[in-house]
Amino acid sequence: MIINTIKNLLFDNRCFICASKYLNKRIDFICNDCLTSLMEINYQKSCAVCGHPLLTEKCPSCSKLVKIYFDRFHFIQYYNDFTKSIIYKLKISGNFIVIRLFYKLICNMSVIRKDTDYITVVPDNFLSSIKKGRSGLNYLIFLFKIHGYKTLKNIYKRKFLNLQKQKSKNKSARFYNISQQYYLPKKNINKFSGRVFLIDDIFTTGATLNYGSKLLKKAGFDKVFALSIFRAVIRD
């Protein structure tokens, strides 16, 4: 606490989202109000499988996946106007502090077993990973690794020539073309075992994390847990 107070006095540290001086004691680059907004869930009833809010008994998201390959899904917050501003800082401004925030938030969930579970992320192609640098998910893997977690990169890979981004596709194309985006190298078939967490920033249709989970099962993992920072809400 004393160290954080001295840092705030010397460097005038402020929340990277709203510029407030009243920073959280454990995560000293975000204020308490912004952190609270990130952690509070407003929907009372949600799907036990994918976390989508439920207005009826039928989940509008799971029904589109047909077959679900991940064993469980975890997320921190729904994708809303507030969380969109955070993703903007990451995608547009390249603010790597957002990745540090993601690391802290995932650790606070206490769902990953540090000594036994593996962690991997949805892969980028090589050029995209170089371009993103510390504002990409590869930097998230780096943070987990230096803090003693078991990490694995590129168990499955993104095809180099297929550069179309998921967000640029309509919903039907996301489901039917996802197999054209990623592949599992033959050398990694049945190579692994145990539990693995597959991380992405946003769960929208679920196609990316679900197909990645399928490939990780093919790689030999017994349990695959999908984890995203934000979970989008399907409006139609």
Does residue 218 form part of some domain? yes
Q: 129 and 179 in one domain?
A: yes
Per-residue pLDDT of the chain (236 residues; tens, 9 = 90+): 555 555 554 556 899 999 999 999 999 999 999 999 999 888 889 999 999 999 888 898 988 888 999 999 999 999 999 999 999 989 888 889 999 999 999 999 999 999 999 999 999 988 888 888 888 999 999 999 999 999 999 999 998 765 455 555 555 556 567 888 999 999 999 999 999 999 999 999 999 999 999 999 999 999 999 999 999 998 76
Does residue 196 form part of some domain? yes
Does residue 151 form part of some domain? yes
Does residue 236 form part of some domain? no
Q: 101 and 7 in one domain?
A: no
Provide the domain count of the chain: 2
Q: 87 and 113 in one domain?
A: yes
Q: 215 and 98 in one domain?
A: yes
pLDDT of residue 5: 54
Q: 120 and 20 in one domain?
A: no
Q: How many CB atoms lie within 10 A of CB 99?
A: 24
Q: 63 and 21 in one domain?
A: no
Q: 92 and 22 in one domain?
A: no
pLDDT of residue 228: 97
Does residue 89 form part of some domain? yes
Does residue 66 form part of some domain? yes
CATH of residue 49's domain is: 3.40.50
Q: Report the amino acid identity of residue 50.
A: C
The domain in which residue 139 lies consists of: 43-231
